[in-house]
Amino acid sequence: MAIYIDENTQVLVQGITGRQGSFHTGQMLAYGTRIVAGVAPGRRGQTVEGVPVYDTVAEACSRYRVDASVIFIPAAGAKDAVLEALEAGVGVVVCVTEHVPLHDEMLMVAAARRKGAVLIGPNTFGVVSSGKCKIGIPPNQVFVPGPVGVVSRSGTLSYEIVANLLAAGIGTTTVVGMGGDRIAGRNFIEVLQDFENDPETKAVVMIGEIGGTAEEQAAEYIRHHLTKPVVAYIAGKSAPPGKRMGHAGAIIERGRGTFAGKVQALQAAGVQVAGLPLEVPELIKEVI
């Protein structure tokens, strides 16, 4: 099994004719993702990598079963693209776009919750169910099937740690990019709940970073509800206090969200915390 997407998921690409949309459409198809249509207003009748293009999500959905959509739309239009997909009844929406305004993110997340849909992102690398379906921008070669679920706030760290797992002979079930912004469509606790309910996921790797309290909240959930082992890595150990790092959410404020605080909370919940990304595979081998 997998969470959110699998080999039967039919995908729509919003912004398919743009440089990023067209490039990553090719990469997703190469991985085996079933992309059935794309959307680019005014480009109806064109094709990208053999995928037909329509003017609206509603039109595409009237012609194909669309289970998930991925959005390659600039920040100014990302909110409208997400809302268009949700209104058309798409159940999983992946918003890769970064620099989305905070209030737009709030509206997007609220709309997804009202619809009962899964929103991943914004500012995410996407989601991969290994060997089955890739939606987003990660490199194809590191995602092979295995027993470990991964949830992360960081794209490049995810690729590194998944590659380290693969080098150690350990594959992944689903790898979820929460996104690096302060507001995320799917948070650590929700993804951990879904991994808990997935029989093929035997352990979870959680990749966090300084800033915010998402990791501390996840630690509390793990302590009381999760039965599967968790290994964590927290980025930002050497960051100066108050220093804004690469993500909008990676800032320490008023003493909250520190590296030490996150590590302490996770360890108190029984989570093994790796000091370096390359240590994650050995810790996983101890628990699976």
Catalytic residues: 247
Ramachandran bin of 257, using left for φ above 0, alpha for ψ from -120 to 50, beta for the remaining angles: left
- C-alpha 104/C-alpha 125 separation (Å) is 19
Extract the tokens encoding 91. Answer: 């159940």
For 188, phi then psi, to 5°, come to: -55, -45
Identify the three-state secondary structure at position 230: strand
For tokens 């008023």, the residue is 254
Minimal CA–CA distance to 194: which of 215, 173, 209?
Answer: 173
Half-sphere exposure in the Cβ direction for 281 (13 Å, CA): 15
Residue type, 2: A
Angle at the Cα of 198 (from 195 to 199), degrees rounded to 5? 130
Residue type, 116: G
Extract the tokens encoding 69. Answer: 């959509």
Beta bridge partners, 25, equal none
- Do 232 and 272 touch, CB atoms closer than 8 A? yes
Q: What do you get for the CA distance between the two ends of the chain, in Å?
A: 17
